[in-house]
């Protein structure tokens, strides 16, 4: 049975993107036409991010952008702030510590988005930080944080901002320049629906200046963003580019920019999915800040997550996701991002989920797929 992938990344890849990946390759280190192609692709990403900052594409999954940001900016003993209201937010601190950072955590509830007022109170008492890290969309919990307000607040104290927007770019509003984000990083396999394997990120002039004014060299090479500062002028990449992945990524970005409805579509479908689950008598994990790209619901009592997962896959050919860490076996996640975020795919998924949950003994109050369709109107 052909699988229908309804996970929060990787997502389904459109046939146009698959075809682009099959294009004949060249030598990306020697062919000057490829440097133009790479730059033009970066410019299309700039449009998506609403930024004039430099944009780079790196050969590696989204974690590469996260680690490269920490490696390039943090020096031994730097005091850095890690804004933590989820698994990934907390995990940012591990990378900060790996590169010598003296990490201070702003800890918040894992079931809700960051309260800006609470963060503001924290910063009034303590704001001596070189930089701060935060997550736009906490994928495991299905929470979107108010990055616009948070980054403006941090910048008012002169704190550099690094934002993991891997699961939000292409599905949630993002205005890098207006919000004052110094580095924002994304991944190819989420809302943009390209193949896994690429990180892309924007770098502000303040971030470049911080790298250039380091007192000590960056630990390592592959994660050293400063190596990229004159790539176009010098016609030189720090390493050979993943050319086929970039071909596919370019097509995926073009599709998003051309259609132009991605914010409205993700919001509409995300809301309808959540309302249908609640109407059915199920419980969402987040209490606020619900993501428009992934919905996280609690697994009903007396039902094992593995039972739901296996039935969805074996009986219906649909792959959903669980989570990890403290959420392991406690939640079920549906990815409605990118090419997954279309009405017919969510209708089919929720119809299968309805049958699956009933099969395992939970008495739903409504038919999930019909409720979903009603909430689309």
- Residues 25-61 have pLDDT tens digits of 999 999 999 999 999 999 999 999 999 999 999 999 9
- 70 with 189, same domain: the answer is yes
Band of residue 260 on the pLDDT scale cut at 50, 70, 90: confident
Mean pLDDT over the full length of the chain = 97
Domain boundary among 228, 258, 288: 258
Domain boundary among 232, 258, 284: 258
- 102 with 187, same domain: the answer is yes
Nearest to 201 by CA among 91, 9, 51: 51
- 22 with 93, same domain: the answer is yes
pLDDT value for 173:
97
Write the pLDDT tens digit of every residue in 265-276: 999 999 999 999
Mean pLDDT for 177-198 is 98
pLDDT value for 377:
79
pLDDT value for 224:
98
Number of domains in the chain: 2
Residue 162: give the domain boundaries: 15-258
Q: Can you give the CATH number for the domain in which 140 is found?
A: 3.40.640.10
Nearest to 51 by CA among 185, 245, 235: 185
- 252 with 324, same domain: the answer is no
Q: Can you give the CATH number for the domain in which 326 is found?
A: 3.90.1150.10
Band of residue 74 on the pLDDT scale cut at 50, 70, 90: very high
Report H helices in 157-228.
Answer: 176-179, 205-212
pLDDT value for 95:
97
Write the pLDDT tens digit of every residue in 193-221: 999 999 999 999 999 999 999 999 999 99
Mean pLDDT for 117-130 is 98
- 60 with 174, same domain: the answer is yes
- 229 with 289, same domain: the answer is no
DSSP 241-300: --HHHHHHHHHHHHHHHHH--HHHHHHHHHHHHHHHHHHTT--BS-SS-B-SSEEEEEPP
Query: Which residues in the chain belong to E strands, given as ranges?
Result: 4-5, 54-59, 79-84, 102-107, 131-135, 137-138, 143-144, 160-164, 183-187, 198-203, 294-298, 318-319, 331-335
Write the pLDDT tens digit of every residue in 307-316: 999 999 999 9
Write the pLDDT tens digit of every residue in 336-349: 999 999 999 999 99
- 167 with 39, same domain: the answer is yes
Percent of the chain with pLDDT over 70: 100
- 195 with 157, same domain: the answer is yes
Per the structure block, which two tokens stand in for 107?
């800890």
- 318 with 195, same domain: the answer is no
- 127 with 226, same domain: the answer is yes
pLDDT value for 191:
97
pLDDT value for 1:
60
Three-class SS of residue 103? Answer: strand
Domain boundary among 215, 239, 258: 258
- 242 with 289, same domain: the answer is no
CA–CA distance from 114 to each of 136, 289, 290, 307 (Å)? 10, 8, 12, 33
Nearest to 59 by CA among 255, 252, 196, 156: 196
pLDDT at 2 over 90: no
Give the integer Cα–Cα distance in Å for 148 and 155.
11
- 240 with 334, same domain: the answer is no
């Amino acid at each position: 049975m052909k699988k229908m992938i309804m996970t929060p990344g990787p997502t389904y890849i459109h046939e146009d993107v698959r075809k682009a990946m099959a294009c004949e390759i060249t030598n990306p280190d020697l062919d000057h036409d490829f440097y133009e192609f790479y730059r033009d692709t970066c410019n299309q990403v700039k449009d998506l991010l609403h930024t004039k900052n430099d944009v780079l594409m790196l050969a590696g999954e989204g974690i590469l952008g996260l680690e490269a940001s920490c490696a390039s900016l943090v020096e031994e003993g730097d005091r850095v702030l890690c804004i933590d209201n989820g698994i990934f937010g907390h995990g940012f601190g591990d990378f900060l510590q790996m590169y010598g950072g003296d990490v201070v955590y702003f800890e918040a509830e894992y079931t809700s988005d960051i309260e800006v007022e609470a963060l503001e109170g924290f910063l009034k008492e303590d704001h001596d930080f070189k930089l701060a890290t935060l997550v736009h969309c906490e994928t495991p919990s299905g929470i979107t944080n108010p990055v616009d307000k948070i980054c403006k607040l941090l910048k008012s104290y002169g704190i550099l901002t690094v934002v993991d927007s891997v699961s939000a770019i292409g599905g949630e509003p993002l205005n890098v320049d207006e919000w004052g984000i110094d580095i924002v990083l994304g991944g190819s396999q989420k809302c943009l629906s390209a193949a896994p394997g690429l990180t892309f990120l924007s770098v502000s002039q303040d971030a470049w200046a911080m790298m250039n004014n380091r007192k000590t060299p960056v630990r390592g090479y592959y994660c050293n963003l400063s190596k990229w500062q004159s790539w176009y002028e010098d016609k030189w990449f720090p390493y050979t580019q993943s050319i086929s992945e970039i071909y596919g990524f370019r097509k995926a970005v073009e599709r998003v920019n051309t259609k132009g409805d991605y914010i409205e579509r993700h919001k509409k479908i995300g809301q309808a999915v959540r309302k249908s689950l609640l109407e059915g008598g199920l419980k969402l994990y987040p209490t606020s800040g619900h993501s428009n790209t992934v919905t996280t619901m609690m697994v009903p009592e007396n039902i094992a997550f593995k039972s739901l997962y296996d039935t969805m896959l074996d009986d219906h050919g649909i792959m959903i996701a669980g989570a990890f860490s403290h959420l392991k076996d406690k939640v079920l996640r549906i990815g409605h991002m990118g090419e997954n975020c279309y009405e017919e795919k969510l209708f089919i998924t929720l119809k299968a989920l309805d049958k699956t949950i009933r099969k395992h003994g939970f008495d739903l109050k409504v038919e999930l797929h019909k409720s979903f369709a009603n909430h689309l109107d």
